[in-house]
Amino acid sequence: MGHQDRPSERVVEQRLRNRAIEALVTLAEGDAGVRTWGYGEYINEFFDTIDDDGPWRWREWSTFTSAEVAALDRVRRAVLDACAATPRISSDEEFVASGWPGRIAPVAAAALELMRSRGRFREDREEVVPSRPS
């Protein structure tokens, strides 16, 4: 694959915004999300995209509105709080019993609703605004 075949930075950000929406779906499912994906993936799917310690400067992406950044940061904080409060969790059921998925779910659902209201971007070409329903 040559250099000209690589997606633009904008298309990469569009794809990552769509991945953030998908991670919010899992978090918004609460206990069911943990049981479907396992607590490790339940948490890590979100941090694969939205992580201040990661390689992506997600707060600066033009694919997010300022309201979306604020909503995602509230979710990020809730997930970090859950991780700090449950450092010795060793099973999905222990994490569910901690109550954290139930506390994260409404925060994630609010962010998801906000992001879905704008929709999803195409992943094969640059767009100024999302063109796909979410």
The token pair that represents 107 in the structure block: 């925060």
pLDDT by residue (tens digit) across 12-32?
999 999 999 999 999 999 999
Give a yes or no: residue 124 inside a domain. no
Give a yes or no: residue 130 inside a domain. no
Q: Compute the distance between CA of residue 131 and CA of residue 119 in angstroms, rounded to an integer.
A: 7
What is the per-residue pLDDT for 131? 87
- Burial classification of residue 129, based on how many CB atoms lie within 10 Å of its CB (0-12 exposed, 13-18 middle, 19 or more buried): exposed
Answer yes or no: pTM beyond 0.85: yes
pLDDT by residue (tens digit) across 39-87?
999 999 999 999 988 777 899 999 999 999 999 999 999 999 999 999 9
Question: Structurally, how many domains does the chain consist of?
Answer: 1
- Domain extent for 60: 8-118
Degrees, nearest 5: CA angle 44-12-59: 65
Map residue 120 onto helix, strand or coil: strand
pLDDT by residue (tens digit) across 95-121?
999 999 999 999 999 999 999 999 999
